[in-house]
Amino acid sequence: MSPALARLLLHTVHLMTFLALLGTGLLLFLPGLRASVTGGYSLLIRDVHRWGGVAFVVLPALVILRCGARRIFAFPRPRTTRIVWQGIHVVVTVVISAAFVATGFALWGKQLLPESLVNGSLTVHDWLTYAVMVLVGVHLADVAVTAAVARLQTATALARDSET
């Protein structure tokens, strides 16, 4: 598998598990929304969220193990500002994902942990949710701008070629 295809697979797996967690997490976090969707409290939503967290860890790990971390995370040459920005984005995503996983598993095993640790994990988990919503917005804006610039460059090149 090519590095580009491996990165695409990793991105897709991460995206799909993230969307499942975001959707179920919002239903757990917003009782009014949950009530309008399910009619009340649903243990199924909680369980899907928990096992979605397991998939959030396991599926990307399987892709990385299968394809090789060096192939997926290798910086292409030349190292442009865009490539460095994407690298920073990956690092931030990994750090936030690790924090989400740690706090999520602390919440899942709350019976085994001190109450202060569980309460802190809940606060961090909630704040990470806010931060991720902002970061997803930035990511989508970045993708949109990059696509628009690429289209503009293509149109400019085509116009230039047609003039000659």
Separation of alpha carbons 27 and 120, rounded Å: 21
Helix axis angle, 3-29 to 81-108, nearest 10°: 40
Same domain, 60 and 140: no
101 touches 124 (CB < 8 A) = no
pLDDT reported for residue 108: 92
Print the domain residue range for 46. 1-74
Same domain, 108 and 164: yes
Tell me the pLDDT tens digit for each residue of 117-145.
Answer: 999 999 999 999 999 999 999 999 999 99
**Do both 114 and 163 map to the same domain?**
yes
- Phi/psi zone of residue 86: left (φ > 0), alpha (ψ -120 to 50 degrees), beta? alpha
Total domains present in the chain? 2
The pLDDT assigned to 1 comes to: 81
Note whether 64 and 101 are same-domain residues: no
Do both 64 and 115 map to the same domain?
no
Residues 159 and 115 in one domain: yes
Give SS3 for 75: coil
Looking at the structure, tell me whether residues 70 and 113 fall in a common domain: no
Residues 94, 148, single domain; the answer is yes
66, 137: one domain? no
pLDDT of amino acid 30: 85
Q: Examine the domain organization and report whether 40 and 86 are in the same domain.
A: no
Residue 164 has pLDDT above 90, yes or no: no
- Residue, of 77 and 141, whose pLDDT is higher: 141
Of the residues 74, 97, 131, which one is the last residue of a structural domain? Answer: 74
101: exposed, middle or buried (Cβ count in 10 Å: 0-12, 13-18, 19+) = middle
Q: Per-residue pLDDT tens for 27-52? A: 988 888 888 888 777 788 889 999 99
HSE-up of residue 17 (Cα within 13 Å, Cβ side): 20
Residues 42 and 87 occupy one common structural domain = no
pLDDT grade, residue 21 (50/70/90)?
A: very high
Q: Name the residue with higher pLDDT: 99 or 163.
A: 99
